[in-house]
Amino acid sequence: EAGVAQSPRYKIIEKRQSVAFWCNPISGHATLYWYQQILGQGPKLLIQFQNNGVVDDSQLPKDRFSAERLKGVDSTLKIQPAKLEDSAVYLCASSLGWGLDEQFFGPGTRLTVL
């Protein structure tokens, strides 16, 4: 079974530029998560989708971050405009259901903002 796919794996941009990340969850997984992992810290949940609806986006900086999952399958996370402190690994995860179901993580996209 294929795992969670993410692209690109690495991205370098200058501050104030825009960037987008893509995630394709495990087939059949209804719930999709985006996490931000700053160097030396654990992942922090940004947004959680159940199918194509948002379950939790309480920690998403909505003035610059946006995410969508239009058809309930793959998802994109966008940052516009980027700040230096957005440098981090952005991890996508998926689970079969929601709540306490096991989350499977993708390899992440490492973003560097100069």
Partner 1 sequence: GQQLNQSPQSMFIQEGEDVSMNCTSSSIFNTWLWYKQDPGEGPVLLIALYKAGELTSNGRLTAQFGITRKDSFLNISASIPSDVGIYFCAGHLNSGYALNFGKGTSLLVTP
Which positions touch partner 1 (CB under 8 A)? 4, 33, 40-45, 48, 55-56, 58-59, 91, 93, 98-100, 102-108
C-beta of 55 vs 96, nearer to partner 1 = 55
Q: Is 57 exposed, middle or buried (0-12, 13-18, 19+ CB in 10 A)?
A: middle
Considering the complex, what minimum distance in angstroms separates the CB of residue 60 from partner 1? 12
Backbone angles phi, psi at 26, to 5 degrees: -65, 140
10/14 with CB nearer partner 1? 10
Nearer to partner 1, 27 or 41 (CB): 41
User: Of the two residues 37 and 76, which places its CB atom closer to partner 1 in the complex?
Assistant: 37
Report, in Å, the least distance between residue 79 CB and partner 1.
19
